[in-house]
């Protein structure tokens, strides 16, 4: 089984942004950004994806990717 992962941490580092910067520039809640940053989010809205892609001037595949899940 594969799981959806994100590159938010990488994109933020590349653009020298912190959670507050992303919050101010996108209007997304700090909680939403923090959960994504720490890979704790269970769902991600289409509008959130669009705002992050606009901010980082990237495509969806630059933000999200699939990874094989660890089998327990």
Q: Is residue 39 part of a domain?
A: yes
- Per-residue pLDDT band for 69 (boundaries 50, 70, 90) equals confident
The pTM assigned to this predicted structure is 0.90
pLDDT of residue 72: 61
Asked if residue 67 belongs to a domain, the reply is: no
Contacts of 18 (CB under 8 A, 6+ apart): 12
Assess contact for 39 and 5: CB atoms under 8 A: yes
Q: Give the pLDDT score at 26.
A: 98
* Residue 18 domain-assigned (yes or no): yes
- 70 within some domain: no
Domain limits at 27? 2-61
Distance from chain centroid for Cα 37: 6
Q: What is the mean pLDDT of residues 18-44?
A: 96
**Inter-residue long-range contacts of 44-51, CB under 8 Å, 24+ positions, other chains counted:** 44/4, 44/6, 51/26, 51/27
Kindly state the percentage of the chain with pLDDT values over 70. Answer: 97
12-21, 34-43, 48-57: which has the minimum mean pLDDT? 34-43
In a domain, 48, yes or no: yes
Asked whether residue 22 is domain-assigned, the answer is yes
């Amino acid at each position: 089984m594969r799981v959806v992962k994100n590159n938010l941490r990488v994109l933020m580092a590349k653009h020298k942004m912190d959670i507050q910067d992303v919050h101010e520039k996108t209007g997304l809640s700090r909680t939403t950004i923090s959960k994504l940053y720490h890979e704790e989010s269970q769902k991600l809205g289409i509008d959130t994806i669009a705002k992050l892609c606009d901010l980082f001037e990237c495509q969806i595949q630059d933000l999200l990717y699939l990874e094989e899940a660890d089998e327990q």
